[in-house]
Amino acid sequence: MFPEFEVVPAVDMQDGEVVQLVQGERGTEKSYGEPVEAARRWVDAGAKTLHLVDLDGAFEGDRKNAPAVDAVLDAVDVPLQLGGGIRTVEDARDLLDRGVDRVILGTAAVENPDIVAELAEDYPDGVMVSLDAKDGEVVVSGWTEGTGLDPAEAAARYEELGAAAILFTDVDVEGQLEGVHLDTTSRVVDAVDIPVVASGGVASLADIRALRDAGAAATVVGTALYEGRFTLEAALDA
């Protein structure tokens, strides 16, 4: 997984469309078209992995964008990591068996850490735990509820349980195109030996290089790509 640093385009879905939110807040979304079209665009531009999120699932626990996910699975031939609304072992197993390479567990992993260990037994490379931090605290349920957990300490715990990777999102800068904050990201990277994928705030090629130099294995980029701040080709070169 991530043998070299990767830039991973985000395909966040709400009501069957690709959207980007500001700080994860509903009502701030801007639409960028249809998921399969976006997925093919990024793969054609050189993406080696795609990051899919069912935002309706993240907020409501109901994976309303499952048909769009299936369509993307059929349309592209690169590794896919998927999060949003995956609440049970059965949900995760179904997705992994259908061709999703990594399921991203956020709320489910916080509420029931044993789900990570159970899935890791059969899918050792298939579980990515999502730690989303706001004001230095892990938040869940679509970034609406605090947990009291420290992101670095939580990352180490999930590594022990068998997580193959950590997705760390800095909600404080997510979607704002104002640059990355490295302090907490660096703490999470230093806390574990498994890959850490950084997300949130990327606005420039310099941000991408900064995350790489901080030790992240990859970065998920959404708004900056959709808004044309730079091309994926330029980001991969960086």
Q: Respond yes or no: is residue 190 known to be catalytic.
A: no
Contacts by residues 85-93 (CB-CB < 8 Å, ≥ 24 positions apart): 85/54, 85/56, 85/57, 85/58, 85/60, 85/61, 86/57, 87/61, 88/115, 89/115, 89/118, 89/119, 91/63, 92/119, 92/123, 92/126, 92/127, 93/119, 93/122, 93/123
Structure tokens at 69: 């996910």
Catalytic residue among 132, 150, 170, 207: 132
CA distance 2 to 36: 23
Q: Respond yes or no: is residue 12 known to be catalytic.
A: yes
Catalytic residue numbers?
Answer: 12, 132
